[in-house]
Amino acid sequence: MEQGQGVLRLTPTWVPRSFCVPGRRISLHPDDYYALGGNRGGIDERWFSSTTAAGNGPLTSPNEGLSFIAFEDGGRTEKFLLRDAVAELKDQLIGARIWKEYQRWPAYSKFFDNKGPLPHHVHHRHEHAKLVGQFGKPEAYYYPPQMNNHGGDFPYTFFGLYPGVTRQQVIECMRNFEKGDNKITNLSQAHRLEPGTGWDVPPGILHAPGSLCTYEPQFASDVFAMYQSLVNDAIIPPELLWQNMPPEKKGDFDFLIEVLDWEANVDPNFAVNHFMRPKPVRSVEEMKSDGYQENWICYKSAAYSAKELTVFPGKTVTIRDAAAYGFIMVQGHGTLGVWDIETPRLIRFGQLTHDEYFVSEAAAQRGVTIKNLSKTDPIVMLKHFGPSNPDLVL
Ligand SMILES: [Zn+2]
């Protein structure tokens, strides 16, 4: 906190998924996508400002998914967990508002970089998640143009169920789960994904994320249920449907329907209600004359929010926020306060970077000064905030 004047430098947190094939758009060295061993699967996620461990099966390594802070001590770089820093510094780091309500940093973000689509799945609402000791999980997507030089195998996302679908039709699909393709996406609509835009997905809504590289702010929880049994020619095991349902509800197809927020799934205005095009945080003209542009990119949930900040070449700006946040660089280089900030083209597994930080509430409110040292290249960073950002008027 002293070294960084309230801004903590984080190290890259790579997460493998045994059921995924990496899309190779997150600047990891081509030799390192299987750095944790083939049996762990490819690395297709990088987690940001995470105090939440990855639930990755029995082979999960200690601290998987958790962000580390790096600091310099007599020429050596030392590391410790962001989770421990939050526990130690409490409101001094994340602000009294969030500490009082959660006693932890209750959100994180990630790059999700999968070559193919994911199965149609749901994250439980809180009333169903708490039956298995978990929290409901809203999530949101933004597709950074910098990370999407190709769209992967299937750059379309199914959301919900089309209007008029009946509960009986969905129950029929769930009865067929173990018979190969249960065809649940036949009851849904896919939307073409567009770099530079995003979607908001409250819990209880079915979604089958497409293969764009996705920046994904979310509430800190790992609760999910896969409702689709075959995706991209791969079978989804039934455990992934039932594992977060209470034991007495295993095999209960009516309960699977109850977990869905039915009206939200069949909403005829789904796209209008959930699609997000970036919105300027204030007058674009004023921001441009000050040397930057800042947009809300995730702004439809009270559980988290996110901004994209662009600082124009050669400019120095001071940016104030009401709440603590983490950020990841996606373009350019310069300085932020006492730190160098840059966007490495290629990162080896285990290598340190200067592209990810966490800004304490006091530092955010004081304002951080960002200098763009390039004559031609903008600085672009994505900023992830926790719940109920006071700057966000929903
Ligand atoms: Zn999801």
Q: What is the DSSP letter of 51?
A: -
Q: Which tokens in the block code for residue 245?
A: 């349902």
pTM over 0.85: yes
Q: How far is the CA of 131 from the centre of ligand 1 (A)?
A: 19
pLDDT score, position 60: 84
- At 334, the pLDDT band (50, 70, 90 cuts) reads very high
Query: Phi-psi bin for 204: left (phi > 0), alpha (psi -120 to 50), beta?
Result: left
Q: Read off the pLDDT of each residue in 125-129 and give the average, rounded to a whole number.
A: 96
Mean pLDDT within 336-365: 98
Is 99's pLDDT higher than 80? yes
Mean pLDDT value of segment 179-185: 97
Assigned token pair, 164 = 């008029």
Distance 214 CA to ligand 1 centre (A): 12
Residue 123 CA, ligand 1 centroid: distance in Å: 6
Residue 56, pLDDT score: 79
pLDDT in tens, 252-311: 999 999 999 999 999 999 999 999 999 999 999 999 999 999 999 999 999 999 999 999
Q: Ligand 1 centroid vs 124 CA: distance in angstroms?
A: 10
Q: With contact defined as beta carbons under 8 Å apart, do 195 and 158 qualify?
A: no
Distance 43 CA to ligand 1 centre (A): 18
What b-and-e string marks burial along 347-376, b requiring 16 or more CB atoms within 10 Å of the CB? beeeebbbbbbbbbbebbebebebbbbeee
394 has a pLDDT exceeding 70: no
Cα(361) to centroid(ligand 1), Å: 29
Strand pairing category for 379-385 and 13-17 = unpaired
Expressed in angstroms and rounded, the spacing between residue 121 Cα and the centre of ligand 1 is 6
Cα distance between residue 165 and residue 358, in whole Å: 44
> Residue 371 and residue 202: Cα distance in Å, rounded?
37
Inter-residue contact 166 to 226 (CB < 8 Å) = no
Average of pLDDT values for 371-384?
Answer: 98
65 Cα–ligand 1 center, Å: 17
In this structure, of 8-22, 187-201, 361-375, the range with the lowest mean pLDDT score is 8-22
Mean pLDDT, residues 160-173: 98
Compute the distance between CA of residue 49 and CA of residue 140 in angstroms, rounded to an integer: 16
Strand order in the sheet with 68-73: 76-81, 68-73, 7-10, 356-359, 325-331, 379-385, 305-311, 292-298, 279-280
The side-by-side arrangement of strands in the sheet containing 225-226 is 189-192, 156-159, 207-208, 121-122, 225-226
Distance 340 CA to ligand 1 centre (A): 34
CA of 206 to the centre of ligand 1 (A): 8
What pLDDT sits at residue 74? 87
Calculate how far, in angstroms, residue 207's C-alpha sits from the geometric centre of ligand 1.
Answer: 6
Contacts of residue 72, Cβ cutoff 8 Å, sequence gap at least 6: 3, 78
User: 203 CA to middle of ligand 1, Å?
Assistant: 9
Tell me how far the alpha carbon of residue 36 lies from the centroid of ligand 1, in angstroms: 24
Amino acid at 132: V
Give residue 349 CA to ligand 1 midpoint distance, Å: 26
Which segments of the chain does DSSP mark as H helices, in order? 82-89, 91-94, 96-102, 126-129, 167-175, 239-242, 253-259, 262-265, 270-274, 284-290, 361-366
Q: What is the per-residue pLDDT for 59?
A: 85
Query: pLDDT of 286-299, one tens digit each?
Result: 999 999 999 999 99
CA of 255 to the centre of ligand 1 (A): 19
C-beta of residue 206 within 8 angstroms of C-beta of residue 122: yes
Q: 218 or 57, which is more confident? A: 218
Task: Report the greatest alpha carbon distance in the chain.
Answer: 66
In this structure, which amino acid lies at residue 9? R
Among residues of the chain, what percentage have pLDDT more than 90? 92
In this structure, are residues 326 and 361 in contact, taking their beta carbons and an 8 Å threshold? no
What percentage of the chain has pLDDT greater than the value 70? 100
Task: Answer yes or no: are the C-beta atoms of 175 and 238 closer than 8 Å.
Answer: no
Q: What average pLDDT does this structure show over 17-29?
A: 92
Give me the chain's average pLDDT, please.
96
User: What sign has the CA pseudo-torsion 204, 205, 209, 213?
Assistant: negative
- The pLDDT tens digits for 220-263 are 988 999 999 999 889 999 999 999 999 999 999 999 999 999 99
Distance from the first to the final alpha carbon of the chain = 32
Q: How far apart are CA 158 and CA 280, in angstroms?
A: 28
> How many angstroms separate the CA atoms of 244 and 327, rounded?
31
> What is the Rg, in whole angstroms, of the alpha carbon atoms belonging to the chain?
21
Q: How far is CA 178 from CA 208, 247, 353, in A?
A: 19, 19, 45
